């Protein structure tokens, strides 16, 4: 079964919480507007490019973020 973007978004938010990183800080680290990140994470339209930027900003791999869904 393929993971849903909502589940991926929840995983991203959980990792942000673990690291105590705000959406504003994530935007600063990725160079992507906070409004864009919020929309993509919350509305299930995360782009692959932004997923990679988010993973790098959180010091994890995109596969790690996605892999948590497949388990």
pLDDT tens digit string along 30-59?
999 999 999 999 987 899 999 999 999 999
3-state secondary structure (DSSP) of residue 30: helix
**What's the pTM?**
0.83
- The answer for 20, left when phi > 0, alpha when psi is -120 to 50, beta otherwise, is left
Domains in the chain (CATH in brackets) are 5-65 (1.10.260.40)
Instruction: Report the pLDDT value the prediction gives residue 35, as an integer from 0 to 100.
Output: 97
HSE, side-chain direction, 13 A CA sphere, residue 31: 4
Q: Tokens 């600063």 correspond to what residue?
A: 28
């Amino acid at each position: 079964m393929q993971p849903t973007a909502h589940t991926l978004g929840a995983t991203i938010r959980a990792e942000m919480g673990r690291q105590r990183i705000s959406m504003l800080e994530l935007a600063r680290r990725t160079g992507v507007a906070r409004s864009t990140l919020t929309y993509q994470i919350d509305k299930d339209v995360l782009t692959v490019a932004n997923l990679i930027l988010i993973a790098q900003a959180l010091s994890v791999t995109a596969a790690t973020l996605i892999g948590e869904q497949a388990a």
